[in-house]
Amino acid sequence: MRSFTEDNHSVHASSDRLMRSEYEVDISGFIGQAWELFKQEPGKYIGYSLVVIVVYLIEQVFGNMFDPEKLSGGYQDYSSGIFWIQLLVLLVISIFLSLLTIPLYAGVNVVGFKQMSDQEVKFGDFFHGYHYWASLIASALAQGVIVFIVIGIAVIAGSLVLGMFWNTSQHLIATLLIMLIIVLSLVSLIYIAVIYIFSQMLIIDRRFGFWQSMEMSRKVVTQRWFSVFALMIVTGLLNLLGAVALIVGLLVTFPLSYLTLSVAYREIFGLEGSDW
Of 76 and 181, the structure prediction assigns the larger pLDDT to 181
What is the mean predicted confidence (pLDDT) over 247-268? 93
Radius of gyration of the chain from its Cα atoms, rounded to whole angstroms: 22
pLDDT in tens, 12-34: 445 555 665 578 899 999 999 99
pLDDT bin (cut points 50, 70, 90) of residue 87 is: low
How many C-beta neighbours within 10 Å does residue 36 have? Answer: 12
Show the CA angle centred on residue 273, arms to residues 272 and 276, nearest 5°: 150
Of 99 and 110, the structure prediction assigns the larger pLDDT to 110
Of 8, 38, 40, the residue nearest 258 (C-alpha): 38
- The pTM score is 0.82
Report the distance separating Cα 136 and Cα 139, nearest Å.
Answer: 5
- Tell which phi-psi region holds residue 120, choosing left (phi > 0), alpha (psi between -120 and 50) or beta: beta
- C-beta separation of 182 from 249 below 8 A: no
Q: In this predicted structure, what is the pLDDT of residue 59?
A: 74
Q: In this predicted structure, what is the pLDDT of residue 19?
A: 60
Reply yes or no on whether the pLDDT at 48 is more than 80: yes
Of 205 and 82, the structure prediction assigns the larger pLDDT to 205
Q: In this predicted structure, what is the pLDDT of residue 84?
A: 67
Q: In this predicted structure, what is the pLDDT of residue 166?
A: 66
Percentage of the chain lying above the pLDDT 90 cut: 59
What is the mean predicted confidence (pLDDT) over 230-253? 88
Q: In this predicted structure, what is the pLDDT of residue 244?
A: 82
Q: In this predicted structure, what is the pLDDT of residue 6?
A: 38
Report the distance separating Cα 94 and Cα 271, nearest Å.
Answer: 35
Taking the domains of the chain in order of start, what are their residue ranges? 39-269
Residue 38 sits at φ, ψ, to 5 deg, of -60, -45
At 154 the three-state DSSP class reads: helix
| Sign of the alpha-carbon torsion through 198, 200, 94, 97 | positive
